[in-house]
Amino acid sequence: MSSLLRPALSLMVLMTLITGVAYPLVVTGVAQLAFPDQANGSLVRDADGEVRGSALIAQDFVGDAWFHPRPSAGAFATVSSSASNLAPSNPALATRVIDDANKLLVPGQGPVPLALLTTSGSGLDPHLPPAAITYQLARVAAARNLPQAKVQALVDTLVEQPLIGPPVVNVLALNRALETL
């Protein structure tokens, strides 16, 4: 019995050390050397070096002076990140979307962009398409007493073109840039 148990336990300990200790340490070390910003959470810091958020996670901005991100099913909490899990046929989802559309509707500006009404898969996506930003532009410019053209010029500088997919704007980066105007 011991001739079977000892090699099995030895192999289990060895594989635990390799896959549970050595491999994670090597991957972490390589990530810290090659991609330190991403490995540490893509943190966004203010002028004083204080962490203001992550470029990868949306934050809730309240008030007319800020661009608002997509809705979040988990209230922008990373612990509960997920989609709402409501099917398109669920009346609760339809009610929420209609209520949000009525709140966000700007007369004379057309329908509210879908990105402002639907959550992302994680519920934490910090990006919006430029059309969703443009829809909010007049409100933000008026609340900040800025010409729309100046705010639009700021938005234009922050439009990102990912390798795959349509152009997007990081709402956290945009709102931080608004603070400097």
Query: Residue range 74-84: average pLDDT?
Result: 66
Q: Would residue 170 count as lying in a domain?
A: yes
Cα 120 → chain centroid? 9
Q: Would residue 17 count as lying in a domain?
A: no
Q: Would residue 44 count as lying in a domain?
A: no
Q: Would residue 7 count as lying in a domain?
A: no
| Contact criterion met (CB below 8 Å) for 67 and 133 | yes
Q: Which domain holds residue 150?
A: 57-180
Residue 80 pLDDT level (bands cut at 50, 70, 90)? low
Q: Is the pLDDT of residue 169 over 90?
A: yes
Q: Would residue 11 count as lying in a domain?
A: no
Q: Would residue 65 count as lying in a domain?
A: yes
How does the average pLDDT of the chain come out, rounded? 86
pLDDT given for residue 79 in this prediction: 64
How many domains is the chain partitioned into structurally?
Answer: 1
Residue 143 pLDDT level (bands cut at 50, 70, 90)? very high
Q: Is the pLDDT of residue 116 over 90?
A: no
Residue 120's closest CA among 71, 66, 61, 175? 71
Q: Would residue 83 count as lying in a domain?
A: yes
Q: Would residue 138 count as lying in a domain?
A: yes
Half-sphere exposure (Cβ direction) of 43: Cα atoms closer than 13 Å = 10
pLDDT given for residue 108 in this prediction: 83
